[in-house]
Chain A
């Protein structure tokens, strides 16, 4: 079964440093997403990406965050100047383009656990 892969599985970084979280979406998918989940809390939407541009973003996704699809397979989330409160599990997901009336199934990766110290 095709799957979304994320690397690294765990990253520890010092406060103020920049981190890049990497994702390889399912190959024929065209919609990509980043979510985060702080320990014990709900899954929070960060951003969706389609056709090489951001299609939607949440209030959480401020200037500290950026996304990029540097080549035909990778999708990255960059967090600049990390803060302690950025510590969370970050999930990447991908889906086919939603049809006119469908809420398309999204496939999630296993996540990257980011710890900011």
Chain B
């Protein structure tokens, strides 16, 4: 199972773009990269998933370089409500969470 490494915490301000990078050096050919968001006292919520290049949805974008050894979750114009823990998961069919990145958005 590919091990992931993310920054423990990040700070940002409302309206800024936030990029959270995840390293997964031993990602396997079959592995997809998935990001989840968790608010306090709530279950994790799926944000975005990708295999290579770029994926965009109404919430975020996911950038994956050609070697797939890292990925970057991009949150455009964050608001206070984006304050949460963000998890990067890598694997074919197992949902193992790491420590995640605690994002704090300030006014």
A: residues with CB less than 8 A from B are 4, 33, 35, 42-45, 48, 56, 89, 91, 93, 98, 100-111, 113
Residues of chain A within 8 A (CB-CB) of B89 are 103
Cα A113 to Cα B42 in complex, Å, equals 10
Number of interface residues of B (CB under 8 A): 27
Is B34 within 8 A of A93, CB to CB? no
**23 pairs from A and B in contact (CB 8 Å cutoff):** A33-B95, A35-B97, A42-B98, A43-B38, A43-B44, A43-B87, A44-B97, A48-B94, A56-B94, A91-B43, A98-B93, A101-B30, A101-B92, A102-B32, A102-B93, A103-B31, A103-B92, A103-B94, A107-B46, A108-B43, A109-B43, A110-B42, A111-B42
Nearest neighbor of A105 in chain B, beta-carbon distance? B46
Cα A45 to Cα B36 in complex, Å, equals 14
Is A43 within 8 A of B94, CB to CB? no
Interface of B is mostly: loop
Residues of chain A within 8 A (CB-CB) of B42 are 110-111
